[in-house]
């Protein structure tokens, strides 16, 4: 049963530290999405890639967030420096097109 | 104004009951529509797509009204396992926009 995997599952860090989250999409999926979920804002799209090329990162704070796909099996989301307001659950999802997305289990980030 | 709005609930219903709830969307250019389900502290999972003609999947029925820009979900014969948050999702210009979710709790 193919699944999207994400690491780490939980991360607690202090303000100002760099945080890197990793995602392994389902093999063969060419579209990868990064979302952030908070109680206040719900689920928000941060960025997405198709065939490893970034298509849209308009939902991402550019000054501290960056997203990359070094290869077809790895997507990364980096926050530097992290702030308490970045505390959220970060989901990666993959699919063959926008309509059908399979979500990973998420990374629960707490910034103190 | 949010692109997708939902009644957050919660809807507390007894087992076997029917529960229904709606969501509204603001962008008339929306292309496709879905209901996702999210269990507590888990990832969202696709429950069903929503078509203009209405569609059923077992005990779940989804309807789309493009003229009024709303989507509905009806759950018949509720089970304890139906307890979850149901997210209304709209594809707008090849990006999914998620509602905040409607929480349903089915009690024994």
What is the secondary structure of B35-49 as a DSSP string? Answer: EEEE-TTS-EEEEEE
Distance from CA of A91 to the nearest CA of B (A): 8
The per-residue pLDDT for range A8-22, each reduced to its tens digit, is 999 999 999 999 999
Which chain A residues have a beta carbon less than 8 Å from that of B34? 99
The per-residue pLDDT for range B61-70, each reduced to its tens digit, is 999 999 999 9
Asked if A42's CB is within 8 angstroms of B101's CB, the reply is yes
From first to last of its 108 residues, chain B has per-residue pLDDT tens of 789 999 998 999 999 999 999 999 998 888 899 999 999 999 999 999 998 888 999 999 999 999 999 999 999 999 999 999 999 999 988 889 999 999 999 999
Asked if B98's CB is within 8 angstroms of A99's CB, the reply is no
Cβ atoms < 10 Å from Cβ of B13: 17
Report the C-alpha gap between A18 and B87 in whole angstroms: 31
The per-residue pLDDT for range A49-103, each reduced to its tens digit, is 999 999 999 999 889 999 999 999 999 999 999 999 999 999 999 999 888 899 9
pLDDT value, residue B64: 95
């Amino acid at each position: 049963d193919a699944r999207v995997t994400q690491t780490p599952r939980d991360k607690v860090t202090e303000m100002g530290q760099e945080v890197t989250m990793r995602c392994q999409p389902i093999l063969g999926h060419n579209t990868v999405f990064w979302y952030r979920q908070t109680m206040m804002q719900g689920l928000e799209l941060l960025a997405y890639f198709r065939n490893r090329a970034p298509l849209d990162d308009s939902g991402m704070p550019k000054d501290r967030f960056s997203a990359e796909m070094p290869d077809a099996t790895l997507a990364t989301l980096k926050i530097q420096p992290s702030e308490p307001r970045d505390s959220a659950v970060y989901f990666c999802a993959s699919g063959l097109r926008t309509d059908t997305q399979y979500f990973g289990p998420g990374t629960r980030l707490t910034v103190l | 104004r949010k692109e997708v709005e939902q009644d957050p609930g919660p809807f507390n219903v007894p087992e076997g009951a029917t529960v229904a709830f709606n969501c509204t969307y603001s962008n008339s250019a929306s292309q496709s529509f879905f209901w996702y389900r999210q269990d507590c502290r888990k990832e969202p999972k696709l429950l069903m797509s929503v078509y203009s003609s209405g569609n059923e999947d077992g005990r779940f029925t989804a309807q789309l009204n493009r003229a009024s820009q709303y989507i509905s979900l009806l759950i018949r014969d509720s089970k304890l396992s139906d307890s979850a948050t149901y997210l209304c999702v709209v594809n707008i210009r090849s990006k999914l926009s998620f509602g905040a979710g409607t929480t349903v709790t089915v009690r024994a």
